Structure 1
Amino acid sequence: MESLDLQLIHALKIDGRAPLRRIASVLGVSDQLAARRYARLCETAGLRVVGRLNPRPVGQTVWVLRLQCVPSASHGIARALAERDDTRWVQLASGGTEVICHLAVHGDRDRDALLLDRIPASRRVTAITAHRMLRLFKGGPTTWHGPTSALSREQSDALAPGYPPPDARSSPLRLTDLDQVLLATLTRDGRTPHARLAAEARCHESTVRRRIAHLRTAGALFFDVDVDESTLGDPAATVMWMAVRPARLAAVAAALAEHPEVAYAAATTGRTNLFAKVLCPDDEYLYDYLSDRVGALPGIDTVETAPVIRVFKRSGAVARDRGRSAGASGERRSAQGHSPS
């Protein structure tokens, strides 16, 4: 992929709703060139910007579920989970016998409806482990640029939207009917113009602008980039479940968040208390990363790894099949770190 394309993707990861004219000015290219490249990326790389809710500011809790399945059932279970509105990421790992699912719920009732009522009714699921996410260190609104990191610090600062980080102790924001209409559209296309959003919501454009700004300022709404990672080198994704001594948990998680290979890192409940997702170009790189980088962090007692072989849902949207084979590398399309929250 050409440098300008990577810069454009990086810019959209910083602010998915930044006008192309502003992006072109920061990149030092013409408006027309930026528009042509953006259109080409949408066509050839499946590029799109999606609006996403940040769970905690709206009172949601995120659970990471591990479902051990009989091999013949894993694909069907993963597809069914991907169709649910309350799932964010659905991935197949461990040679196809494990489904990893991120579930965002508003209370125990929504969680129990899935864990206690629906999934256990199937004998195709042999074991379930549920980890409640306690603190997110990387992923979601914390942008991971990965292989698209192509802008200078000055360019990144010029494109940063400038919304303050949400206060984790503030009361959850109550979503309005207008919010629901806006989110329904922004989830499909995060760059939908204000005028079109206003038409769908049947209100003034200024009202839409103010409400989106309010949601972003409150940390409730952020914008993510979905792109076919095969155009970026198709790095292999691996999830890690780590047991870290409590006194070292914050330090280890913060260190992982600084690693460019890490797309997602969160402290959780459970026998393992730190979950991470890493992307490495090949097995040798992964081995060196685990032995040299992760192994050097004090406080980690155990590490369990599971390669991701297919992504059924990412960024809150069902993953699209762009005609790639169902083989090994063709199924590894999970590099958006970004972020399963």
Structure 2
Amino acid sequence: MAQDSVDSSVGTGRAAAAAEPLDELDLALVHALQVAPRAPWSGLAPVLGVDAVTLARRWRRLSASGRAWVTCYAGPGRGAGGPGCLALVELAVERGALAAVRDTLTRDAQAVSVEHVSDGRDLLLTVGAPDAAALSAYMQQRLSHVPGVVSVRPHLVTRLYQEGAAWRLRALDAGQQRTLGTASDETPRDRRVTAVDRALVLALGRDARAPVNALARNVGVSPATAARRVAWLIGSGHARLRCEVAHTLSGWPVTALWWLRVPPPDLDEVGRRLAAHADVRMSAAVTGPANLYAAMWLRSLGDLPAFEADLIRRYPRVEVLDRTVVLDSAKRIGRILAADGRCVGYVPMKLWEGEDGPPSAP
């Protein structure tokens, strides 16, 4: 029920040669697509000062090598009460079984991210499900039966303050970002998500820059219908677009995770302020002894003590229960990653059942 086939056409496997570094134009192009993931090359060209043909060629090279990609995942829609049923799940694994368990779970559709972490934890999964019952079933019927898994400990996300789609490379200046971010703020009228909508989200998940004609052929509708539905999905927040980059090439190669205990009256304020920090990729209220979780990309391990000291100075009532470092990101939002962070495969994220809107991903 939880597994899916792996599309390896986007890469060649985890044991691959070191990735070619990104130059200034590569970084600017990725940043531009973080702001405007489906912008036409002709629209990006004047902002970046490079012709559209060159930008298209650069992007083909970046995406073919797995150094950058644009994906799509299901969102709850604007104005929804929460992120659906999203959980951070810690797994303890038998000695010698870590690699096998990691590789097995990267092929699960519901385990949207899989990370090997330090300091007393083995694997940390980000799991999406349509509701708590489906999440429970996945943990009991799937995770608990994977050979080598010793224990399963979930932390449910109760509020998502920030997710990775908002993180930026900082390669463009403020004027360039304003120019790219001038899309209408009008929110389309909400309606029920249909089977065609879900098929479009899955098609965009593999390549969120796919032309409308290709999307239409993929899901069996007219180009006009595909264009209209894609615009509604993105505008309503039922589809989230994200331009990602291999973290080892981004300039922020270290991923640090923080488990914080915040006095309940201060939780929303601290969660929102952490979300506004330029290095924070995820800020979420969670269940368990720690009620706030934060994930950051940092330039070096040496930045960890400085961040923690600043956190305690700003919020003296916040208690740091634990901090850890990601040793290996095996999968991030449906993308299987090589050791150097490049995308080498894709598992479609089929996180919903029935006709209800799906959960969001971090």
* Structure-1-length-normalised TM-score: 0.85
Q: Which has the larger displacement, 265-274 or 53-62? A: 53-62
2:271 — aligned with what? 253
| Corresponding position: 1:4 with 2:28 | no
Cα 1:162–1:144 shift into 2, 3 Å: same
2:86 — aligned with what? 62
The separation in 2 between residues aligned to 1:73 and 1:115, in whole angstroms, is 18
1:89 — aligned with what? 113
- Displacement after TM superposition at 1:299 (Å): 2.4
2:245 — aligned with what? 227
2:15 — aligned with what? none
Q: Which has the larger displacement, 294-303 or 186-195? A: 294-303
1:21 — aligned with what? 42
1:262 — aligned with what? 280
Within the candidate set 75, 79, 83, 2:99 is matched to 75
- Displacement after TM superposition at 1:4 (Å): 2.2
Aligned residues of 1:310 and 1:332 also touching (Cα < 8 A): no
- Displacement after TM superposition at 1:224 (Å): 1.0
1:1-341 equivalent positions in 2, closer than 5 A: 1-44=22-65, 46-55=67-76, 60-94=84-118, 97-121=121-145, 124-141=148-165, 143-145=166-168, 148-160=169-181, 162=183, 164=185, 174-233=192-251, 235-319=253-337, 321=338, 324=339, 330=340, 341=362
3-state SS of paired residue (1:198)? helix
The separation in 2 between residues aligned to 1:313 and 1:108, in whole angstroms, is 23
- Displacement after TM superposition at 1:123 (Å): 7.3
Cα 1:165–1:53 shift into 2, 3 Å: farther
In structure 2, give the amino acid aligned to 1:115: M
The separation in 1 between residues aligned to 2:341 and 2:68, in whole angstroms, is 18
CA deviations on 1:10-52 (whole Å, 9 max, x unpaired) are 1101121111110112223222232232233234552221111
3-state SS of paired residue (1:299)? coil
The separation in 2 between residues aligned to 1:123 and 1:207, in whole angstroms, is 45
The separation in 2 between residues aligned to 1:274 and 1:73, in whole angstroms, is 30
Paired positions, count: 322
Q: Which has the higher helix share?
A: 1
The separation in 2 between residues aligned to 1:38 and 1:332, in whole angstroms, is 14
The separation in 2 between residues aligned to 1:332 and 1:303, in whole angstroms, is 32
Cα 1:176–1:332 shift into 2, 3 Å: closer
- Displacement after TM superposition at 1:318 (Å): 2.2
Aligned residues of 2:90 and 2:121 also touching (Cα < 8 A): no
3-state SS of paired residue (1:187)? helix
In structure 2, give the amino acid aligned to 1:144: W
The separation in 2 between residues aligned to 1:56 and 1:35, in whole angstroms, is 31
The separation in 1 between residues aligned to 2:91 and 2:187, in whole angstroms, is 32
Aligned residues of 2:85 and 2:135 also touching (Cα < 8 A): no
**% identity of equivalent residues:** 26
Aligned residues of 1:54 and 1:140 also touching (Cα < 8 A): no
- Displacement after TM superposition at 1:310 (Å): 0.9
Q: Which has the larger displacement, 192-201 or 76-85? A: 76-85
- Displacement after TM superposition at 1:263 (Å): 1.3
The separation in 1 between residues aligned to 2:283 and 2:67, in whole angstroms, is 26
In structure 1, give the amino acid aligned to 2:301: D
The separation in 2 between residues aligned to 1:96 and 1:311, in whole angstroms, is 17
Cα 1:218–1:331 shift into 2, 3 Å: closer
* Coordinate RMSD, CA, aligned: 2.7
3-state SS of paired residue (1:283)? coil
- Displacement after TM superposition at 1:256 (Å): 1.2
The separation in 2 between residues aligned to 1:67 and 1:262, in whole angstroms, is 24
* Structure-2-length-normalised TM-score: 0.80
**Structure 1: runs of 5+ lacking an equivalent:** 325-329, 334-338
CA deviations on 1:215-237 (whole Å, 9 max, x unpaired) are 11210112112322222235211
Aligned residues of 1:135 and 1:267 also touching (Cα < 8 A): yes
Q: Which has the larger displacement, 87-96 or 277-286? A: 87-96
The separation in 1 between residues aligned to 2:185 and 2:135, in whole angstroms, is 30
Greater RCO (CA < 8 Å, at least 6 residues apart):
2
The separation in 2 between residues aligned to 1:101 and 1:163, in whole angstroms, is 35
Aligned residues of 1:74 and 1:97 also touching (Cα < 8 A): no
In structure 2, give the amino acid aligned to 1:186: L
3-state SS of paired residue (1:282)? coil
The separation in 2 between residues aligned to 1:126 and 1:163, in whole angstroms, is 49
In structure 2, give the amino acid aligned to 1:25: P
2:348 — aligned with what? none
The separation in 2 between residues aligned to 1:331 and 1:48, in whole angstroms, is 12
Aligned residues of 2:68 and 2:342 also touching (Cα < 8 A): no
Aligned residues of 1:45 and 1:231 also touching (Cα < 8 A): no
